[in-house]
């Protein structure tokens, strides 16, 4: 009897959680529902305790207008009203539990109170309140559920990178993206500003970087397969951000507790810079142009590669360091954060190997490996960045040097992108690490079946993002700054597509980086995910529903082709056909692996949830199923 009672209570609690109006992303540290909440009306005001909170009150008022239909007045008040207000209060005495970014939120019949130690904490409290006011029912909602929230982040670095080199996004798109990230308590925007395909930041001392390096010939089609520039063809695609644009974006981000980390990727990935200043490479090739997405490299099965065009700065040329001093000097003056990202990834060293000056430099320093020469270069770059009052951060190749005289100081930080192992290695060497391994955080990867997604070389499903653990076993957790999702833009052409690739995977990663590990569960995330989807729909965000799509896998053993169907979303029903009919809720329902018959057979499959189609239909002929088979 007791067991039955326990099961009934458990099921009731599960249903209540799924139906609860308290559906926040990222999941807070503590959420305690209260019996009675607060109802907003025309007389409700937003009051704040000190002048620096005025912009946050104004922004909260604007955020609440859409879901409530109200425009709430806001004013400063040292003592908040006893009833009828949303109160934003900085703690007179610091609350040790909350730290710099934490907050407490209480909603009752009398009103809503948000307290925090800092403006950042107040801001995050308002973002949670905005979600509580927006259950996305399609109607205006003036009821804030009763709740007590205690919340603070697990990691200090909760980042997302946007590549604006391969696809240029205008300033308005960047500002919108920052807004979308801030609502998820993301606090670091990594801005990939320079690469082979475009230089996007004005450097006044080096005007050709934008007059030449920011522009390329227009091309469509799959990146890496586009046609080469024709002789004399004008470079009309591109753009750049003026320094005034940069200052505006920085201010906008700061107001939303986001630090911008600018990236100038060197010594590789420098084709746009070399199109403007070809004398800075070993080859000094004046025919180099900003790459429009044509093939200029060969990649091999063992992970090595060859650059068909020299896209690498010359580490033996002092003019390169003069150039970089000018670049990083102006960059440092525009971005107030402590880090400048200097890239360091995928540096092809073949041109260095053939260059007499590079070889002489290696001999003079007794370098035994080409990685030592890159280490020498990165150490020189670090000194330049340090001279500007900043610290260097870069991709995990920056610490590959074997020579102790060509290694970075421990002030440098490492972004582990190849995998988890590189982050472990960096932490064991004493470096601070941002965990951003491609298999878990590269949100340009396909998020569903390859037949449904823009083609790219790898896949990353939503559940994999969500279940990523940034602190590997056996690593000093104090050296893990946090984590980051990366949106490379080779296969993007519009901001709507950038949103589609970002969301909901950034929703998942925001929880990975904010929420205590013990509070995260995939099953618990689903109802909050579905509420967030409705919010995104109301806000006009082009999110993906790819997690609802069927997952098709096959094995081929003993001459039997066996088909397995699955779905990331628990509770989904999967229907299929093998008889050329369209699948639906009256088709065969998948319950167990299927032996695919011989012959000209086509699989069609679709998912349903709550009696309605939820995912996209996948259609695969038998020969494609055979190709996918694991033996």
- The CATH number of residue 396's host domain is 3.20.20.80
Residue 539 DSSP class: H
Q: Which of 519, 546, 573 is the last residue of a domain?
A: 546
pLDDT averaged over 10-residue windows placed end to end, the chain, 631 residues = 40 44 95 96 96 98 92 94 96 98 98 99 98 77 94 99 99 99 99 99 99 98 93 97 99 99 99 99 97 95 94 99 99 99 98 98 98 98 99 98 96 98 98 99 98 94 98 97 98 97 99 98 97 94 98 93 97 97 97 95 97 97 93 60
Bridge partners for 562 per DSSP: 555, 595
pLDDT score of 13: 38
Q: Is residue 518 assigned to a domain?
A: yes
Answer whether 155's CB lies under 8 Å from 481's CB: yes
User: Is residue 126 in some structural domain?
Assistant: yes
Sorted by sequence, the CB contacts under 8 Å of residue 491 that are 6+ apart come out as 222, 223, 444, 454, 455, 456
| H-helix or E-strand spanning residue 481 | strand 480-487
Residue 26 preceded by cis peptide, ω within 30:
yes
Residues 199 and 242 in one domain: yes
619 in the same domain as 470: no
Longest dimension (CA), the chain: 85
Token digits of residue 300: 């091999």
Structural domain for 596, as ranges: 549-628
Sequence-ordered list of residues with C-beta below 8 angstroms from that of 13, at least 6 positions apart, any chain:
none
DSSP 51: G
Are residues 589 and 458 part of one domain? Answer: no
Q: CATH number, domain at 617?
A: 2.60.40.10
Residue of 118, 145, 123, 106 whose CA lies nearest to 17: 145
> Is residue 10 assigned to a domain?
no
Cβ atoms of 512 and 483 closer than 8 Å: yes
CATH code of 110's domain:
3.30.379.10
Token pair for 74: 């806001």
Do 146 and 177 lie in a common domain?
A: no
Q: CA Rg, the chain, in Å?
A: 27
Token pair of 571 as six digits: 């509770």
Structure tokens at 389: 């009052």
Distance CA 399, CA 10 (A): 50
Q: What is the Cβ-side half-sphere exposure of residue 213, based on CA atoms within 13 angstroms? A: 29
404/53 Cα distance (integer angstroms): 49
The pTM for the full model equals: 0.95
122 and 239 share one domain: no
From residue 442, how far is each of 160, 180, 333 by CA, in Å? 10, 18, 30
Is 333 a domain residue? Answer: yes
Phi, psi of 389 (to 5 degrees): 80, 20
Residue 138: its pLDDT value, please?
63
Residues 408 and 536 in one domain: yes
Which residue in 183, 177, 192 sits closest to 261, CA to CA? Answer: 192
- Among 514, 546, 578, the domain-final residue is 546
In a domain, 213, yes or no: yes
**What is the model's pLDDT at position 142?**
86
444 and 497 Cβ atoms separated by less than 8 Å: no
Number of H helices, E strands in the chain: 18, 30
Q: What is the Cα 343 distance to its own chain's centre?
A: 17
Q: What is the DSSP letter of 579?
A: S
Give the end of a domain, one of 483, 511, 546.
546
9 domain residue, yes or no: no
Claim to verify: residue 318 and residue 393 sit in the same structural domain? yes
Kindly state whether residues 263 and 204 are assigned to the same domain. Answer: yes
Handedness of CA 248, 503, 617, 450 (dihedral sign): positive
How many angstroms from the chain centroid is the CA of residue 186? 9
Pick the closest to residue 258 from 441, 394, 123 (CA basis): 123
CB-based burial, 195-208: b 16+ in 10 Å, e otherwise? bbbbbbbbbeebee
Q: Are residues 263 and 164 in the same domain?
A: yes
Q: Which residues are identified as catalytic?
A: 346
Q: Hey, how many other C-beta atoms are within 10 angstroms of the C-beta on 494?
A: 12
Task: Please tell me the distance from the alpha carbon of residue 485 to that of residue 436, in angstroms, as a whole number.
Answer: 6
The total number of structural domains that make up the chain:
3
Q: Round to whole Å and give the CA distance between 479 and 429.
A: 10
Residue 13 falls inside a structural domain: no
Quick one: tokens of 66? Answer: 């859409």
Cα 73 from chain centre: 35
Q: Which one, of 169, 52, 72, lies nearest residue 118 by Cα?
A: 52
CA–CA separation, 279 and 335 (whole Å): 28
Residues 571 and 514 grouped into a single domain:
no
Shared domain for 349 and 453, answered yes or no, is: yes
CB 116 within 8 Å of CB 98: yes
Q: Note whether residue 8 is domain-resident.
A: no
299 and 445 in one domain?
A: yes
User: For position 137, what pLDDT does the model report?
Assistant: 65
């Amino acid at each position: 009897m007791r067991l039955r009672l326990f099961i009934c209570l458990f099921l009731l609690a599960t249903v209540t959680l799924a139906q609860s109006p308290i559906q926040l992303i990222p999941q807070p540290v503590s959420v305690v529902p209260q019996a009675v909440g607060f109802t907003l009306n025309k007389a409700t005001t937003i009051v704040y305790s000190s002048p620096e909170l005025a912009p946050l009150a104004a922004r909260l008022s604007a955020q609440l207008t859409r879901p409530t239909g109200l425009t709430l007045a806001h004013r400063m008040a040292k003592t908040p009203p006893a009833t009828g207000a949303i109160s934003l209060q900085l703690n007179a005495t610091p609350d040790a539990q909350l730290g710099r970014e934490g907050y407490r939120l209480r909603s009752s019949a009398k009103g809503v109170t948000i307290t925090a130690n800092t403006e950042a904490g107040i801001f995050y409290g308002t973002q949670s309140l905005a979600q509580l006011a927006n259950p996305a029912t399609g109607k205006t909602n003036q009821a804030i559920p009763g709740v007590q929230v205690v919340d603070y982040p697990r990691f200090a670095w909760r980042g997302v990178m946007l590549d604006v080199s391969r696809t240029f996004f205008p300033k308005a798109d960047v500002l919108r993206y920052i807004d979308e990230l801030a609502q998820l308590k993301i606090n670091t925007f990594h801005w990939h500003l320079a690469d082979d395909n475009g230089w996007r930041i004005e450097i006044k001392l080096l005007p050709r970087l934008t007059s030449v390096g920011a522009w390329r010939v227009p091309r469509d089609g799959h990146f890496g397969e586009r046609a080469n520039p024709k002789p004399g063809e004008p470079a009309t695609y591109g753009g750049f951000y003026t320094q005034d644009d940069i200052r505006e974006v920085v201010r906008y981000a700061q107001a939303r507790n986001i630090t911008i980390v600018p990236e100038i990727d060197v010594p590789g990935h420098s084709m746009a810079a070399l199109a403007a200043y070809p004398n800075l490479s070993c080859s000094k090739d004046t025919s180099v142009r900003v790459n429009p997405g044509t093939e200029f490299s060969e990649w091999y099965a063992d992970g090595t590669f060859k650059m068909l065009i020299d896209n690498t700065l010359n580490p033996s040329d002092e003019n390169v360091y003069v150039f970089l001093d000018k670049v990083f000097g102006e960059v440092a003056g525009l971005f107030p954060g402590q880090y400048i990202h200097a890239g360091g990834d995928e540096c092809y060293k073949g041109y260095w190997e053939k260059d007499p000056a590079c070889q002489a430099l290696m001999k003079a320093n007794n370098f035994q490996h080409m990685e030592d020469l890159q280490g020498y270069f990165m150490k020189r770059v670090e000194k330049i960045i340090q001279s500007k009052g900043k610290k260097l951060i870069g991709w995990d190749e920056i610490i590959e040097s074997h020579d102790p005289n060509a290694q970075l100081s421990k002030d440098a930080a490492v972004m582990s992108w190849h995998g988890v192992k590189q982050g472990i290695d960096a932490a064991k060497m004493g470096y601070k690490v941002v965990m951003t391994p491609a298999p878990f955080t590269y949100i340009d990867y396909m998020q569903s079946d390859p037949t449904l997604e823009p083609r790219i070389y790898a896949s990353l499903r939503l559940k994999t993002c969500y279940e990523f653990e940034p602190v590997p076993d056996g690593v000093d957790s104090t050296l893990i700054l946090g984590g980051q999702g990366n949106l490379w833009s080779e296969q993007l052409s519009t901001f709507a597509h950038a949103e589609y690739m970002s969301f909901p995977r950034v929703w998942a990663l925001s929880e990975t980086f904010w929420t205590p590990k013990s509070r995260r569960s995939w099953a618990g995330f689903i109802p909050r995910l579905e509420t967030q989807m409705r919010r995104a729909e109301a806000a006009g965000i082009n999110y993906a529903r790819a997690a609802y799509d069927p997952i098709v896998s096959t094995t081929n053993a003993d001459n039997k082709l066996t088909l397995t169907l699955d779905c990331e979303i628990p509770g989904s029903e999967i229907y299929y056909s093998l008889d050329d009919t369209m699948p639906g809720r009256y088709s065969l329902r998948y319950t167990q692996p299927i032996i695919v018959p011989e012959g000209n057979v086509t699989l069609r499959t679709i998912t349903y949830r709550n009696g309605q189609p939820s995912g996209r239909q996948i259609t695969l002929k038998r020969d494609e199923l055979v190709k996918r088979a694991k033996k």
